[in-house]
Chain A
Amino acid sequence: MKLLIVEDEKALMDNMLSYLSRGDLVCEHASTFREAQDKLVSFSYDIVVLDIMLPDGNGLNLLRLLKDKQPEAGVLIISAKNALDDRIAGLELGADDYLTKPFHLPELNARLKAIFRRRKFQGHKEVQFNEISINTDTHDATVHDVSLILTLKEYELLVFFIANKNRVLTKQTIAEHLWGDHVDVQDSFDFVYQHIKNLRKKITAAGGEDYIKTIYGLGYKLNG
């Protein structure tokens, strides 16, 4: 999966590159409007991560160019918080999803994979992880072809884990992925534990291996 990240802040870009490059992604980057324009015209990408606010131009114009040149490419917009207008304009221009700064890197990773799935595997949206397979269209999960009866949250949790396999996911990252930013109304994120416990139980009951490792006090990790 080939990715172009358009972001003018070098350190933020470095963060994204370091995190994403460790997976099965090929990442290129552009830090100005012009650079991004050149790359979009010359090369093709599966997904473009686009910061709307660029020093030398509006990212929305890049989005128009991209939709013109490479209509099959997926787009994830990064925008400032509360910049609702930019977000709506971006989605109307054909962006697949958006993230508001600041975001968790695992969240970015999961969103990119979701876009990739939607874009590339039309009619066959299957995620495979060892003996676990998930159909993201029907939301069916199986272990060794045994169906898992999962709640919506457990299903989302499993997809999130697989998208970020071998990565540490803090309770906060998981909670915000499943319940959104407002989850901080809860006194602690310990409720995440209950959902993970149930998910583990269901996978092992269906004959699957327990891949989820607890990192005490911090979070969880899916070892694959």
Chain B
Amino acid sequence: MSLLTKITILNLLLAFAAFGIGGVRVYHKFRFEVQRETDFTLMESFDQVEQIIRAGVPAADLQNRLMSIARVDTAGPADRKMVFADTLAQHPVLKRPELFRKLTVTREIDGQFYRFMLMNVVIEQSDISRIITNVLQDLFVVLGGILLIFNFLISKWLLGPFKATLEKVKSFNLQSGEVPVFPKTSTVEFKRLNSFLAEMLAKAGKDYRSLKEFSENASHELQTPLAIANGKLELLLEAPGLDDSQLQLVQDAQEALSRLSKLNEALLLLTKIENQEFAPQTPVNFSDILNADVQIFEELAGMKGLLLSTAISPSVLLRIDPSLAHILVGNLLKNAIRHNVGDGWIKVRLDVGQLTVSNTGTAPAVPTDQLFGRFQKSNLPGKSLGLGLAIVKKICDVNAMTVNYTYHDGVHEVAVRF
């Protein structure tokens, strides 16, 4: 729900409450006034009647439907007081009981006590409440309409810059790091928001870039000392007089270094792909790349007793950096060889728009889509770094390709669509 909608609803609720309380108050005030006026009229009528009787007109002649005058013998001080009361009586025109105001008083005129009872119809309570409700309803509708028009204007004119800012922030891309230019506004709060956002986005972009640069530089700088250390160990292997256990120690250190070096290389590659250092220029013949790589891996697969078969459509073009294409194919094939079973098979299929590599293998230990995460290793021990599929995914991401991993009945299948 938008901010304006919420404000409008709150406004209307508030207006509703105000109108309700106001209505009740008006009703009571109105009724009180009406009653006072009615009582006053009754008193005036009574005064006139009293005068007329004093003037000598017989009281009986003055009686009518709304006034009864009765002779009484005595009257205590209580009777002499004017007493007003509500009463129901038959309305002459409407022919139904209506609320009347009644004045009862006893007076002594020329030594004779008369008991007067005057009545006057009162404006009905339901009439009063109906009128008030109607008026308030109309007012409420008008107010609602005015509020809506106002909101429209507010959102167009007052909140316009805010909405524009939101749009700009939404389209901000951390990778490009380009800080958007926010629209000019005369509202102080929005000015402050815009300058704050511009500052923050610039800083986020800068931090992101420096982090990426750092990880790339760190990986790059690590390569040299790794190569040096490895070389020193190779020289150490040549040293005279080393016994078998010492040679074994050197060998173990070499293996660890080699693994570290490969790990670092893979991480560097991931960072480089993320930093978009491989821009696809012209379409390459993906079929040729695939054929060349399959040839390299055929022997390696054969050494593990695996059968590698292919169905590669010729001249499939793909817009991708050639070294990334080799890495993509290489990683998929490596994966298929590494995570296979004895006497298993690997099938490579390339059609226009899709490459699939399927192979036999044991069921994966984690859900297949999680295998694209970094350092997600299957249950197999060994030389796997756990980055191969992460690199595949990253290559697919930057080249607008999709990749899916499925496992079904002992067969793993990775499908790349482009």
- A interface list, Cβ under 8 A from B: 9, 11-12, 15-16, 18-19, 22, 80-82, 84, 101-106, 167-168, 170, 172, 179-180, 182-187, 191, 215-219
Contact with A along B263-303 (1 / 0, CB 8 A): 00100010010000000000000000000000011011001
Residue of B nearest to A187 (CB): B382
Stretch of B60-68, B167-175, B190-198, B243-251 with 4 or more beta carbons under 8 angstroms from chain A: B243-251
Total residues of chain B contacting the partner, CB 8 A: 41
Residues of B within 8 A of A102 (CB): 223, 226-227, 230-231, 261
Query: Which residues of chain B come closer than 8 Å to A16, judged between CB atoms?
Result: 231
Identify which of B244, B254, B262, B338 contacts A215 (C-beta below 8 A).
Answer: B244
- The answer to whether the Cβ of B235 comes within 8 Å of any Cβ in the partner chain is yes
Q: Which residue of A lies closest to B324 (CB)?
A: A82
**B231 with A15: CB separation less than 8 A:** yes
Contact A82:B269 (CB < 8 A) given known A170-B254, A182-B296, A216-B244: yes
In the assembled complex, how far is the CB of residue B40 from the closest CB belonging to chain A, in whole angstroms?
105
Apart from the given pairs A102-B226, A182-B334, A185-B304, 18 other A-B contacts in the complex at a CB distance below 8 Å: A11-B224, A11-B232, A15-B228, A18-B235, A81-B265, A82-B327, A84-B322, A101-B227, A102-B227, A170-B237, A170-B251, A172-B254, A185-B334, A185-B337, A186-B300, A217-B248, A218-B244, A218-B247
Interface residues of B (CB under 8 A from A): 220, 223-228, 230-232, 234-235, 237-238, 244, 247-248, 251, 254-255, 258, 261-262, 265, 269, 272, 296-297, 299-300, 303-304, 322-323, 327, 330, 334, 337-338, 382-383
Distance of A191 Cα from B305 Cα, bound (Å): 12
Task: Give 22 A-B contacts (CB < 8 Å), ordered by A residue.
Answer: A11-B231, A15-B232, A16-B231, A19-B234, A19-B235, A80-B220, A81-B265, A82-B272, A84-B322, A102-B227, A102-B231, A104-B234, A105-B231, A168-B247, A170-B237, A170-B254, A172-B255, A179-B299, A185-B337, A186-B300, A218-B248, A218-B251
Interchain nearest-CB distance for A12 vs B (Å): 6
B234 touches A172 (CB 8 A): no
Please determine whether B383 and A184 come into contact, CB atoms closer than 8 angstroms.
yes
Task: Select A183's contact among B220, B244, B300, beta carbons within 8 Å.
Answer: B300
Give A216's nearest chain B residue, CB to CB. Answer: B244
A81 CB contacts on chain B under 8 angstroms: 265
B22 to chain A, nearest CB (A): 79
Could you tell me the distance between the alpha carbons of A105 and B327 in the complex, rounded to whole angstroms? Answer: 25
What distance in Å separates the Cβ of A88 from its nearest Cβ neighbour in chain B? 10
Nearest CB in chain A: distance from B333 CB, A = 8
Considering residues B238, B265, B382, which has the most beta carbons from chain A within 10 angstroms of its beta carbon? B238
Nearest Cβ on chain A to B210's Cβ, whole angstroms:
22
Which B residues touch A19, using CB under 8 A?
Answer: 231, 234-235, 238
Whether the pair A84, B323 counts as a contact (CB closer than 8 A) is yes
Contact present for A186 and B304 (CB under 8 Å): yes
On whether the beta carbons of A185 and B338 are closer than 8 Å, the reply is yes
Residues of A close to B220: CB separation below 8 A: 80
Closest chain-A Cβ to B355's Cβ sits at a distance in Å of 18
Which residues of B have CB within 8 Å of A9?
Answer: 224, 228
